[in-house]
């Protein structure tokens, strides 16, 4: 077995940030009454998608059914997911991180890498002190906690961030790598899945340190190129740079909701329109327009019927898409059939700034009016709740289940004329 390189100092300094129980923590930050309570997110899907640390302490786990949680843990506060809210917190969290370093890679909605190399002199602080400043800023401004790991490579930084959870900070220097790797099962190394874990065990490798200490020829013989790169990163040799990326590129944005089987035509159309509004809202938040709209209905036998609609011009405005949605609904809906789910997918996305008006698109004047209208709608809904201003088609479902942030107020936008 080889030795892990004894690297002194920090030739590179990579920070990994991981928000703690992110969805549940956001709900607690928005509603202080939930702090200290076992919060569970995922009511609309029927399974637990996120759980607060108070809930984890009780034994609630991701993947459990909501019905099981209600039966075993009646004290749990069970909420529906609010992905737009989580996206907003994610965006603000990454903006805070960029105040400290211009090089930030948004890895997922609740994780990011940042390159800190060269910033100690600028801040007159150690990397560890910079990490604590980031943590405190996020906690003070957003009301959520994050765990931070700092080390020489991305793989080591992820190990460091998971070392102390929640609300921890761990720094792994080159000369301390072996102290941490010897306590990490090989299965917990980023990029090593169940199949590779099984192979490692057959080859006598059980810890991250075993893997890192293996000879180079041995790794190349038994593992893939990706695993060889992980081997290098575990030894403190940087292979994966921090890519300065924004999470503004999406292949698709989808909204679907399940319910008790129903044949109520008005309810199904209204729920479909509401899903469309929420998908468009998210697209606008990220400055994206869609070129295609996919609409689907799932019946009580779990059979799915769908239509893909090629748009004549890219858009993220329900005003443009609701007539198309209604026609698609009329084609797919069958009287007397019970349906359990409706869904919307906005796909073939493009950045709004890249949008060019074509010969068959709306006039520039009409487009500007539409854009100003939805800017106003978004501003009101962000402040008072996502269903404060809605299109009339969605009123049937939202009037019974509003999403307020204050006083009860609902204004339905009936067919809009902008000419």
Tens-digit pLDDT profile for residues 60-99: 998 899 999 999 999 999 999 887 688 778 888 998 999 9
Residue 387: inside a domain, yes or no? yes
Residue 92: helix, strand or coil by DSSP?
helix
Residue 125: inside a domain, yes or no? no
* H-helix or E-strand spanning residue 112: strand 111-115
Residue 225: inside a domain, yes or no? no
Q: What is the CATH number of the domain that holds 268?
A: 3.30.1490.100
Unique residue bearing structure tokens 């059979």: 303
pLDDT for 246 equals 65
78 vs 284: CA distance, rounded Å:
28
Residue 183: inside a domain, yes or no? no
**Residue from 27, 105, 106, 111 carrying the catalytic annotation:** 111
Residue 358: inside a domain, yes or no? yes
Q: Using 50, 70 and 90 to split pLDDT, how confident is the model at 232?
A: very high
pLDDT for 408 equals 42
403 vs 302: CA distance, rounded Å:
28
> Structural domain of residue 260, as residue ranges?
252-413
Residue 236: inside a domain, yes or no? no
Res 394 pLDDT > 70: no
Q: Using 50, 70 and 90 to split pLDDT, how confident is the model at 419?
A: very low
Residue 346: inside a domain, yes or no? yes
Express each pLDDT in 46-56 by its tens digit.
889 899 999 99
Considering its fold, how many domains does the chain have in total? 1
182 is catalytic: no
Q: For helices 154-161 and 225-234, what crossing angle results, to 10°?
A: 60
Q: Are 235 and 362 in contact (CB under 8 A)?
A: no
Q: For helices 265-285 and 83-100, what crossing angle results, to 10°?
A: 10
- Tell me the mean pLDDT in the region 208-221: 96
List own/partner pairs for 72-77 with CB under 8 A and 24 or more apart. 73/38, 75/37, 75/38, 76/38, 76/39, 76/40, 77/34, 77/37, 77/38, 77/39, 77/40
Residue 143: inside a domain, yes or no? no
Strands (E), 245-353: 252-262, 288-299, 304-315, 339-351
CA torsion sign, 254 to 304 to 324 to 415?
negative
Q: Using 50, 70 and 90 to split pLDDT, how confident is the model at 142?
A: very high
Of residues 363 and 20, more confidently modeled: 20
């Amino acid at each position: 077995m080889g030795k892990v390189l004894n690297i002194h100092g920090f030739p590179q300094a990579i920070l990994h940030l991981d928000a703690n129980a992110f969805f549940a923590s956001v709900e607690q930050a928005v509603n202080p009454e939930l702090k200290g309570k076992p919060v569970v997110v995922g009511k609309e899907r029927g399974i637990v998608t996120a759980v607060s640390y108070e809930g984890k302490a009780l034994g609630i786990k991701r993947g459990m059914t909501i019905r099981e949680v209600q039966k075993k843990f009646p004290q749990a506060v069970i909420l529906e997911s609010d992905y737009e809210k989580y996206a907003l917190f994610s965006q603000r969290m990454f903006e805070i991180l960029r105040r400290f370093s211009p090089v930030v890679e948004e890895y997922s909605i609740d994780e990011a890498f940042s390159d800190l190399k060269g910033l100690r002199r600028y801040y007159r602080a150690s990397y560890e002190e910079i990490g604590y400043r980031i943590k405190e800023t996020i906690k003070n401004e957003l009301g959520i906690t994050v765990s931070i790991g700092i080390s020489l490579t991305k793989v080591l930084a992820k190990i460091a961030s998971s070392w102390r959870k929640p609300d921890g900070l761990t720094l792994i220097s080159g000369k301390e790598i072996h102290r941490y790797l010897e306590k990490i099962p090989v299965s917990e190394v980023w990029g090593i899945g169940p199949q590779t874990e099984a192979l490692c065990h057959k080859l006598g490798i059980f810890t991250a340190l075993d893997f890192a200490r293996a000879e180079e020829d041995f790794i190349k013989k038994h593992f893939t190129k990706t695993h060889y790169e992980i081997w290098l990163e575990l030894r403190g040799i940087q292979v994966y740079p921090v890519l300065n990326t924004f999470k503004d590129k999406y292949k698709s944005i989808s909204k679907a909701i399940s319910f008790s089987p129903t044949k109520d035509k008005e309810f199904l159309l209204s729920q479909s329109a509401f899903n469309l509004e929420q998908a468009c809202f998210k697209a606008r938040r990220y400055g994206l327009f869609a070129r295609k709209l996919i609409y689907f209905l799932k019946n009580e036998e779990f059979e799915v019927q769908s239509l893909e609609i090629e748009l004549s011009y890219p858009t993220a405005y329900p005003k443009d898409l609701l007539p198309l949605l209604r026609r698609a609904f009329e084609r797919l809906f069958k009287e007397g059939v019970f349906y359990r789910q409706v869904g919307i997918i906005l796909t073939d996305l493009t950045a709004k700034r890249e949008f060019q008006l074509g010969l068959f698109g709306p006039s520039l004047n009409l487009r500007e009016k539409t854009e100003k209208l939805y800017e106003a709608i978004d501003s009101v809904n962000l402040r008072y709740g996502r269903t404060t201003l809605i299109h009339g088609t969605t009123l049937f479902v939202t009037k019974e289940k509003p999403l307020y942030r204050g006083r009860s107020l609902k204004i339905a936008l009936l067919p809009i004329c902008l000419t």
